[in-house]
Homo-oligomer: A and B are copies of this chain.
């Protein structure tokens, strides 16, 4: 496993434009090793002992960073081990963003220094693999952008439902000269076929809820006004079913549908290798200068901005 650091000095220069307010927030949550408790970005709510809800709440963009990993890990561990829970719904409390890309402000070492997880995989792919294999039904309810990690969390979940008007899915990484690291090269072809997977991964474009349904990227896109009610009814229905038979059905579906861990590991290696190459470092620096992670327009129209980099 490669462990060189992203050139933090390059990124530090890029951060000069970041507003003091954000810089302040960051200063208060610099990573996972601070003695100050990090902001709780993810909330777990037990609606009933059988039906849990996980709310992603890290405004303004629901960016996922190294400090988020132990928070999500704790929740996934509870999902794996709780004797009663049968179904978990993931949703966002941040308007416009389900869960977006990885945090490129902390040095990459803040991520690579997190110990591997129970599967032996690095922490982020480890959690996603464990969510897929947990004997509990995971459902994502996508409203707003599910970009990068947001798409990867969705792909690792068992079912995906999207707002027809307000969901946007994407694997945008190629636009920054990055290879995605959280499993989409393994999971997308099995879900949507090779051709659509390559389009999603190599165009790095936004995929609307409607197109996501046509491609099979989500189970269904629903009118935004119906999404919450639909997902809640589905979760409550499953929560009344037999936990043991749910687990047996999942286990049998896993056999033909889950990628082997070796494919997941290869993606993380390719992601790290790409992140250390000069092209990605330069592209990330320029995106941060443009306003990635600070300006709403850059986050909301990310494919437009990545499309300007190579010109």
Contact = CB atoms under 8 A, between A and B. Distances in A.
Given A203-B237, A219-B196, A185 B252 contact: yes
Nearest to A214: B213
Interface string A238-261: 111110111011101101111100
A99 interface: no
B160 A195 contact: yes
A271 to B, nearest CB: 9
B201 A253 contact: yes
A175 B255 CA distance: 22
Contacts of A242: 174, 177, 274, 277, 279-280, 283
Interface in A159-216: 159-160, 173-175, 177-180, 185-186, 188-199, 201-205, 213-216
A256 B249 contact: no
A220 B240 CA distance: 33
B274 A179 contact: no
Interface string A258-299: 110001001100100110010110010000000000000000
A173 B248 CA distance: 12
Contacts of A245: 173-174, 177-179, 274, 277, 279-280
A191 B186 contact: no
Interface residues on A, range: 35 or more
A6 interface: no
A5 interface: no
A256 B188 CA distance: 10
Interface in A126-185: 137, 158-160, 173-175, 177-180, 185
17 contacts: A160-B195, A175-B241, A178-B245, A185-B249, A186-B252, A186-B256, A190-B256, A193-B257, A194-B253, A199-B219, A202-B238, A202-B246, A240-B310, A241-B310, A242-B277, A249-B270, A252-B266
